[in-house]
Structure 1
Amino acid sequence: MTDHPSTFQADTDKNAGIEWDDRASLHRTDDGGGVLDKGKGLRSGTFAQLIAHMMLLPEEERGQYYIDKMGDRKYSAAEVANLAKHPAYPG
């Protein structure tokens, strides 16, 4: 599980592709962000687990949430739905 690139010998330690086992947290889109944003997560787990959880939500409610993948970025509901269809998705 890698959350950031390494600077050892100027190489990165990330594998090519999606790191499904990276830590992630589920957030509401209206949680306000801010300095304490990392503490406002509703659920945490691996990126793959949170994709699976989000896909269990009714489609009309998914837009109220996003996944914050540690060391990476925030993934919207539309991006999560596309990732759930990815051929390498372990779910």
Structure 2
Amino acid sequence: MSDHPSTFDGDTSEHKGFAWDDRASLHRKDDGGGVLDSAKGLRSGTFADIVRHMMLLPAEERSAYYIEKAGDREYHAEEVAALADRPDFPRED
């Protein structure tokens, strides 16, 4: 999970590029958030897997969902579509 630098042996674990293998989950925008938000995820997997799954939804339905990536970063429909178009996006597992 490259989004989290390491201090082991005084070295960093920074990698160039996007952390497609970070953990992520798919949520409905209207799930209420709160303390139990992580339990309300509809699907979980790697960030790339969840982006692929969200892109399988009809375009008019995508705006009802968001992806929460490790570190509490949220990605909404337009941003997810842009990520799926990136040349470094892993198209398959």
TM over 0.5: same fold? yes
The letter of the residue matching 1:70 is: A
The letter of the residue matching 1:7 is: T
Count matched residues. Answer: 90
The letter of the residue matching 2:28 is: R
- CA RMSD after TM alignment: 1.5
Q: Normalising by structure 1, what TM-score?
A: 0.89
Structure-to-structure mapping, 1:1-91, within 5 angstroms:
1-8=1-8, 9=10, 11-71=11-71, 73-91=73-91
Q: Secondary structure at the match of 1:83?
A: helix
Q: Aligned partners of 1:7 and 1:89: how far apart in 2?
A: 28
Q: Deviations over 1:37-57 (max 9, x none)?
A: 111100001111111100000
Question: Where has structure 1 moved over 3 Å in runs of 4 or more?
Answer: none
Q: Secondary structure at the match of 1:15?
A: coil
Deviation at 1:72, TM superposition (A): 5.4
Structure 2: segments with no counterpart, 5+ residues: none
Q: Aligned partners of 2:71 and 2:6: how far apart in 1?
A: 12
Q: Aligned partners of 1:45 and 1:79: how far apart in 2?
A: 18
What percent of counterpart residues are identical?
Answer: 68
Q: Deviations over 1:27-73 (max 9, x none)?
A: 00111111111111000011111111000000000000000011251
Q: Secondary structure at the match of 2:45?
A: strand
Do the aligned residues in 2 keep the contact of 1:3 with 1:72 (CA within 8 Å)? no
The letter of the residue matching 1:90 is: P
Q: Secondary structure at the match of 2:27?
A: strand
